[in-house]
Each structure stands twice: as structure tokens, then as C-alpha cells.
Amino acid sequence: MAAVLIDGKAVSASVRAQLKEEVQALREEGITPGLAVIIVGDDDASHRYVRNKKKGCEELGIYSQVHMLPKETRMEELLSLISTLNTDPLIDGILVQLPLPKGLDEKRVIEAIDPGKDVDAFSEVNVGRIMIGNYTFLPCTPAGIIELLRHANVEIEGKECVVIGRSNIVGKPMAMLLMHANATVTICHSRTKNLSEVTRRADILVAAIGKPKFVTADMVKPGAVVIDVGMNRDENGRLCGDVDFEAVREKAGAITPVPGGVGPMTITTLLKNTVTAAKLHHASR
Ligand code: GUN
């Protein structure tokens, strides 16, 4: 039997409808959450993500600014913009779209963002807080995935979860959130030996490798829940995930499609974090 499709668009729409009401109530109190997005260079995919973030803000009534900078932008200019936004009372969240063009130091840029406005939760302080389990902002993609699993009634506690990919943006924080939800977690990566043997143990398999159709049916346990974080182009230039969707859906119990799975949830978490930041800023003023 083919897997149940986990519909990220539908879950995202329901979470955003709730958030919209929350933003409306805040605005009636005179608090308008504000997000500043900085994008450097002209990478098409990054520009598409940023457009979706802006659109998400508009739909919810969140104020947004997009700062588009040329790829020749120097560190000092970028740091100076971040410093201005750090003290701008209209701005509750700051997001610098990654990856940055060569020559710009991502680590330094992330650390320049006020941790109270770091709605990506990428800074050292926020990552540390996630590790301890005492966080303000949840990392966008992993938190979106947890929300998807909850909405799909997938129990996490006690389950074998395997995450493929160890990036700071997805793999590592994903493992941490699954562990906070009482799963037994394994992180695999490019040097993992006998990868298929490990992935076949997974009740919940999260693919975040960035390689088109990397996860094949033989790597999946029958009935497993498969979460696809990938956003790639296949040999015909069509959008595809890290999972060979057509083959794996015949074996899995549930699966997220690409597009329409994890992607919309990432932006939903960002919007949620921006609202959280606005509430905190208002409470401390
Ligand atoms: N590039 C890919 N994913 C992300 C994300 O979640 N946040 C930022 N800032 N850049 C990204």
C-alpha cells in the first residue's frame, strides 16, 4: 500500500491561520511584529526563498523589509546594516539568507545579530540554548518537521530516528529536537559505513543531504515515516527531494512530498519565531 502523504501545505495553512489571529490581536495592542531579511548576491533559489518569506509575512500582517545587497558587498557594510537593524525598534527578527557569497564570513555575520532577534536560531547562544533545552527560538526547519509529525499523529517517543546529514541548519538541531522528544537518535553523514543498514533501522527517517533522490527504497524499513528536507533539481531540471519519492512511497508508511512537504513549514516556524520575538521585545520595553 502506498504511503500516506504528509501535507506540509495544509499543516502550514492551519498553523499560519492561528498565527494570523495572534498577530491581529498584537496589532490591536499596538504591537506589529517586524522581520528584516538580508540577501546578498543573486542566487535564484535564495531569492525564491526570500520572496516566500516576505509573502508569508504579508499574509499574516507581519511588517517586513528585504535588504538586497550586491554580491560585492563587503563585511563592514553587512555588519553595519545588521548593527542598525539590531537597534531598530520596528524590527523584531533579523535573518541573513545563507549561503553568503565567497569572501563573506558567515560565522561572524551570524554572531553580529542580536541573539534576541536571531529568528533562525543560528547564533552560538541560541544553538547552546537548544542543546540545553531552554530555548526562545526553535530552528526553523527542524521545528517545522516536529510540528508536521505532531499533526500527522506520528509518535516520536521511544522511536528509532535516523537523520542523514549533519549540517548546523538541519541535521544537528533536528537530532537534538528528536532527542528532546524522547526518540533514540542516530546521525549519519558522508563517512558513515553501511549507511543502508543504519537507515533501515529507522522508524522515522529524515533526509537532509542535499543530493537528488539519494534515499532509495532499499534504504527504508517497510512502514517507516520518511521526511524529505531536500530541494534539488533532477537530471531533467525538475524540483526533487533527497528521497526517490516514487519508489519510496510504495514502501514507507508516510512520506513528505517535495515541494509541499517540509518547505512551507520552515517559513511557518520563521513567522512564529518573529511573533515570539515581538512579544518578548514588547514585554522588555
Ligand atoms: N538557507 C537555507 N535554509 C536557510 C534558513 O533556514 N535560514 C537562512 N537564513 N538561510 C537558509
CA-closest candidate to residue 223, choices 249, 258, 256, 243 = 249
Longest dimension (CA), the chain: 56
Supply the pLDDT for residue 116.
98
Q: Is the pLDDT of residue 243 over 80?
A: yes
CB within 8 Å of 71: residues ≥ 6 apart: 40, 41, 42, 101
Q: Is the pLDDT of residue 140 over 80?
A: yes
Q: Return d(Cα 174, Cα 121) in angstroms, integer.
A: 13
User: Residue 276: enclosing H or E segment and its boundaries?
Assistant: helix 262-283
279 is catalytic: no
Q: Return d(Cα 67, Cα 96) in angstroms, integer.
A: 9
Residue 23: pLDDT band (50, 70, 90) is very high
Supply the pLDDT for residue 62.
98
The pLDDT of 135-145, averaged and rounded, is 96
Supply the pLDDT for residue 180.
97
Q: What does the pLDDT look like over 196-226, one tens digit per residue?
A: 999 999 999 999 999 999 999 999 999 999 9
Q: Measure 40 CA to ligand 1 centroid, in angstroms.
A: 13
Q: What does the pLDDT look like over 24-76, one tens digit per residue?
A: 999 999 999 999 999 999 999 999 999 999 999 999 999 999 999 999 999 99
Supply the pLDDT for residue 284.
85
Supply the pLDDT for residue 1.
77
Q: Tell me, using a 6 A CB cutoff, whether residue 162 lines ligand 1.
A: no
Backbone angles phi, psi at 92, to 5 degrees: -100, -30
Residue 190: pLDDT band (50, 70, 90) is very high
The pLDDT of 190-194, averaged and rounded, is 97
Q: Measure 98 CA to ligand 1 centroid, in angstroms.
A: 5
Q: Tell me, using a 6 A CB cutoff, whether residue 37 lines ligand 1.
A: no
Output the pTM of the full model.
Answer: 0.96
Annotated active-site residue in 92, 117, 118, 120: 120
Annotated active-site residue in 92, 97, 117, 242: 97
65 is catalytic: no
User: Residue 198: enclosing H or E segment and its boundaries?
Assistant: helix 195-199
Q: Could you tell me the strand order of the sheet in which 63-69 lies? A: 63-69, 34-40, 93-96
Q: Is the pLDDT of residue 250 over 80?
A: yes
Percent of the chain residues topping a pLDDT of 70 = 100
